[in-house]
Amino acid sequence: MNVNLTATVNGGVRPRAVIIGMPGAGKTRIGKEASGMLDLPFADSDIEIEHEAGMRIPQYFEEHSERAFRELECRVIGDLIDSFGGVLALGGGAPMFEATHRLLERYIEDGGEVIYLEADPREAMERARRAGGRPMLAGDSDRRWMELFEQRDPVFAALATSRVATHGFTPAGAARKLVDMINEHKVHVDGKGIEPYDVTIGEGAMNHLADVLGSKPVRVALIHTTPVQRHSDRARTLLRQAGYEVSDIVIPDAERGKTIEVANGIWQRLGEEGFTRSDAVVGLGGGAATDLAGFVAATWMRGIRYVNCPTSLLAMVDASTGGKTGINTPQGKNLVGSFYTPAGVLADLKTLGSLPNDIFIEGLGEVAKSGFIKDQAILSILEAHADELRGFDGASFGSGPSDSGAGSSGDLEDIVAQLIERTVMVKAYHVSADLREAGLREFLNYGHTLGHAIEKLEHFRWRHGNAVAVGMVYAAELAHLVGYIDQDLVDYHRALLSSLGLPTSWNGGSFEDVLALMHRDKKARGNTLRFVVLKGIGQPVHLDDPPADAVEEAFRRISR
C-alpha cells in the first residue's frame, strides 16, 4: 500500500510514526528506507538536536551534562511532534527521560504510533561499536549496552503501540515490515460487559498473533479450513516460533463446518490433548470458521482466550468482530451460540490475495449494509470505486503500486483498507453499546431477516453477503410500502448493489416457506415479525408486525 498521508492533531501536523529502540537498532537507516517507501519526510531527533545545539552530541554531553542534554532533547522532540509530518526516529535513551516519556504518551493518546524497533543484541552492539560517538556507551560498550537494554527494554515495550523485530532481515526487508506496521488501522472495541480488544487491519497484521495471545497459554488450537492452508501454515509457524504447542484442527469449509458434530469433534481433541482454562484458540479462515472457533472457545471450560484471524472480506468486516459466536442447526442459522468477545482480531490484508472474485464480492454486501445503517461515507467510497471493486483480482491485490498510478493494486488495497476500517467502526459502535443484541445491535441485522431465510432454503449454497444484499433490497421495498422511504432510495439500493456485482433478486422458494423461516428469526418476538428497515440513510428503525400484504408484496418485488 503506497500512502502519502500526514496525520493532524489539534489543527497541526504530527509524525506519521515515531521510532524508538536501542543504540544500533538501525532506527535511522531503516526509518529512512521506510519513509522513502511511504513518500514521507524523515527526521532523526539526534541530528535535529545537533543543529539546535551547534555541536555534536558527545561534545554537548562533555560541556554541559546528560541532564542538560535530555532537557534539550525533550524540547526538540516536542517541537517535532507538534510540527513534523513524516517518520521520526528518536535517540536511544529519549523515552527514558520522564518529560519526553510524557510527550510520547500524549502523542499516543492523540492516535500516534510509537514503534519499538527490536534488533538482535549482537547485531545492535556491533553496529553501535562501528558508529561510535555514543556517550552513553563510553567504556566497555558491549557491557554498557546490555545494562542499558535491561533498563530500557521493559519501558520501551510498555510504551510502544507496536513492535518490529528486525533480526534476520535486510534493512529493506525490515523497512517493509515497518511500513506495514505504520499503514495498519486499528479499531478499539470496548463497552459494558466487554473485555476491551483491538481489531488490527493491515498487511502483516497476523504478525501480532503472539502479542495478542500473550504468555499465559501453553497450547493453542489452530482451527482452520483447507482452502486457507497457506495462511494457516504461516500462523502455525508464528505460533511455534513464539513457543506455543500447536494443535492443528482442520474443519469443513463454509457453513458445513458450523455444526454440533464438528464442534463436538474439536471438544474431544481439546480434552485428549489436555487443554486447560489458560490455553487458547485461534480461528483462521472465513466467517464460518471464526464463528465456530469462537463458539468452541466460549464453551470449552466455560471460556478460554481466543483470537480471530479472518481471511475473507466478509469475515473481516462481520463474523470475526463483535463477539457473536455460533453454530447452525437443521432449523436455522446461528440459533445456538454465545456472546463471547475475542482477545483480538487480526485482519491481515495479505490473506485477501487468495480470494476468488466472487468470494470477495460477497463481502461487499456487509460493507454496504454498514453504509446504509450508519456511515454514508462507505456508500460514497463504494460508488466511486465500484468498477475496481467489482473487478477484484486476488493475484494482483497486495502486489504494490504499479506504474499506471490511479487504479493500481496499491490504490485498491488502500480503498479496501478504508472500507474495512469504516465498516468495523460501525460494528464496534453498535457492539459497544449493546453486546447482547437487546436493541441497538439489532440494526446490524439490516437485510438479514430475508437473507438468512434465503441461505437456509438454498441449503447454504448462496453466500451470506449475496443473501444479505437481496435482503436489503427486500427491506427497502418493505419500508417504501409502509411509507418510510421513497422509491428513489429503493432504486439506489438496487443500483449500488448491482454496480458492485451483488444480486438484488431471488426466486428460489415460495413466500410461504420464506415466511415460516422469518418467523424463526432471532428478532421475532413470539408470533410477531420484526424487521430492521430504514427511514433514511443512516436512520435504521425496528418495524414490528407490518401489514401482511406489505410483507408479501415486498417479497413479490424481489422475486421478479
Tell me the binding residues for substrate: 46, 70, 92, 152
CA separation for the pair 554, 475 (Å, rounded): 8
Residue 187, all three cell numbers: 479499531
What is each CA distance from 353 to 282, 385, 396, 417, in whole angstroms? 21, 18, 7, 13
β-bridge mates for residue 117, sequence order: 164
* 3-class DSSP string for 495-508: HHHHHCCCCCCCCC
Residue 433, all three cell numbers: 453499546
| Residue 172, CB-side half-sphere exposure with 13 Å CA sphere | 0
If residue 503 lies in a helix (H) or strand (E), which one and from where to where?
Answer: none
CB contact at 8 A, 202 and 185: yes
* Annotation: binding site: 24-29, 46, 70, 92, 134, 152, 253-258, 287-291, 311-312, 324, 333, 366, 448, 464
Choose among 482, 517, 477: nearest CA to 497: 477
If residue 258 lies in a helix (H) or strand (E), which one and from where to where?
Answer: none
* Annotation: binding site for NAD(+): 253-258, 287-291, 311-312, 324, 333
CA separation for the pair 291, 326 (Å, rounded): 6
* Annotation: binding site for Zn(2+): 366, 448, 464
- What is the 8-class DSSP label of residue 525? B
CA separation for the pair 4, 37 (Å, rounded): 10
* Annotation: binding site for ATP: 24-29, 134
Q: Give the amino acid at 334.
A: N
CA separation for the pair 365, 241 (Å, rounded): 37
β-bridge mates for residue 345, sequence order: 199, 308
If residue 271 lies in a helix (H) or strand (E), which one and from where to where?
Answer: helix 260-272
Q: 144, exposed or middle or buried, with CB in 10 Å at 0-12, 13-18, 19+?
A: middle
CA separation for the pair 302, 281 (Å, rounded): 13
Residue 480, all three cell numbers: 417504501
